[in-house]
Amino acid sequence: MVSVSPETWFKNAVVYAVDVEAFNDSDGDGVGDFQGLTQKLDYLDRLGVSALWLLPFYPTPNRDNGYDVSDYYGVDPRLGTLGDFVEFMDEAEARGIRVIIDLVVNHTSDQHPWFKAAQEDPDSKYRDYYVWVDERPPPDPERATVFPGEVEDERVWTYDEEADAYYYHRFYPFQPDLNLANPDVRAEIYRIMKFWLELGVAGFRVDAATLMIQPKHPDAEQLDDPHEVLRSLKRHAVARRSDAVLLAEADDAPGELESYFGDGAEMDLLMNFVLNAHLVAALATERAAPLAEGLERLPPADVGQWMNFLRNYDELNIGRLPKDLQDEVFERFAPDTDMRIYGRGIRRRLAPMLDGDERRVKLAFSLLFSMPGTPMLLYGDEIGMGEDLSLPGRTSVRTPMQWTDEENAGFSTASEDDLVLPVVSGGRFGHEEVNVAAQRADAESLLNWMERLIATRRESREIGEGSFSVIDVDHPCAFAHRYDFNGNAVVCVHNLSDGKCSLEFDLDLVQGDALYPLLGNADHTRHDDGSCEITLDDYGYIWLRLHRTGAGASRRSASESGQQSRPEGPRAQSESR
């Protein structure tokens, strides 16, 4: 058996993204809290996830879902106390569940004491914690707001009367950017990281990583080494915890992404926005080509890992797709303008996008979990929750978790008017129809299937650590790929269309090799010439394990002796038939 290094635990992890305030309310005030999350750790343990990613839970005016932080060393009183957080961490550790938290240090709230001090005294050291100018610079298309249509006149400089100066912000005006070129600011960030690492967190999701490495002052030139700020975060993280991971929100051009891994000295994981858009496009068009193109656009990830997802808390960003493909995705998954946001995104949950068709939902998650990288699941997607488009902006996909068909979906005993957000009620995706309790009792439910999927992925080290290749199949709606690792292989085949398809391709099988299914129920037949024939139903899928024995193992070992274990990261390589 090959041992697993603690420092690479994330390669075979399954991450569950959860918003504490929307998950479970323990005290009946209408807001989810850490005690409520602790109560649901057994549910998450049974689901099989190995790590949680928590949205910001710090004290905040809460004008941007907690991303406007006013104190980096505490817990928002609505969500509990620091003691509640410590108890939660102890209980998560007891179940072997790691916790990753958001590190929101590109900006603060305008209510943070640092900004208050910067406003009050131009000679205070805190003045240089932010970016100020006396005259508002002209608009710069390279430094536009990240929320087009939501920020007045699209500018990123706001006048502050108390300071008699303009301050810089790429997000909302109430989120002034920190001056990360200031060594004192970086020292503050290192102290924040040390504090939470010593409380047991396994790492950080670095919010707005792409903006952190860009020059902020209008007179500043491009830094000689813009990534040093991210590398310094890694150095300080591993100094406190050797297996700490950094997950970057790096929504950058594909050609720039490899630099975020920094030859192993920077980010461990990157949120895979490129593959996300192309995977959704493949589901929308029911063609494999967009998925293959998305994989081809990714640079190698030899020293890190991609974090793959279908949905997250924000909009589903398809802005990097070609315009004609964007139009196809919008037409299929967001035909009404109210379903769209920022001109680039979709503000819907996955299950409604797929018309509640469980075959398509399972196909989508099977594809996601079989992609090269670490899969991430948004809370509630394991039961097929829907969205509430009557809510503004991105809050449409942040409604409370649906535990039962009872009042408030079992999320809270508070009155409906006191809930942090309304629960989804009525219709195909209302909590009366879609909830954990009902699906737990149904052996064929999406929830119970997701448990099997998660277990299968965690058992399949080939996907997390093996060499990846695309298998050439003569069918536009089918996608097949394989991973080779330690002499064995996992082969995954998916049919993106609503019609059956039959495929035959060479797997280089020899007598004595074992081939058996891990997931899915497609018909498969092996032939004496080493090939395999697979027949997939509508939206069908299958994962197969190829176990080398005897002559096959010997030949494979000899062929691999001069190869790297992961030669091209996620780059697609074709295998001829």
Q: Would you name the residues annotated as active-site residues?
A: 207, 249
Q: Are 466 and 436 in contact (CB under 8 A)?
A: no
Q: Are 326 and 319 in contact (CB under 8 A)?
A: yes
Q: Which residues partner with 54 through β-bridges? A: 18, 101
Question: Taking the CA of residue 519 as centre, how many other CA atoms within 13 Å lie in the half-sphere pointing to its CB?
Answer: 27
Strands (E), 434-477: 467-471
Strands (E), 359-442: 374-378
Cα separation, 15 vs 89, in Å, equals 16
Show the tokens assigned to 173: 């005006």
**Quick one: CA torsion of 279, 284, 286, 290, rounded to 10 degrees?**
-40
What is the three-class DSSP state of 557?
helix
Q: Can you tell me which residue has the tokens 């997802």?
A: 309
Cα separation, 352 vs 468, in Å, equals 31
Q: What's phi and psi for 454, nearest 5 deg?
A: -65, -45
The dihedral sign for the CA sequence 542, 460, 379, 327: negative
In order of 83, 371, 459, 542, 571, the CA distances from 492 in angstroms are 45, 9, 15, 6, 16
Cα separation, 201 vs 203, in Å, equals 6
Cα separation, 311 vs 479, in Å, equals 21
Q: Which of 376, 370, 377, 378 is nearest to 570 (CA)?
A: 370
The sheet that has 523-526: what strands, in order across it?
Answer: 501-506, 531-536, 523-526
Cα separation, 138 vs 10, in Å, equals 44
Q: What's phi and psi for 266, nearest 5 deg?
A: -130, -110
Q: Within 10 A of 148 (CB to CB), how many other CB atoms are there?
A: 12
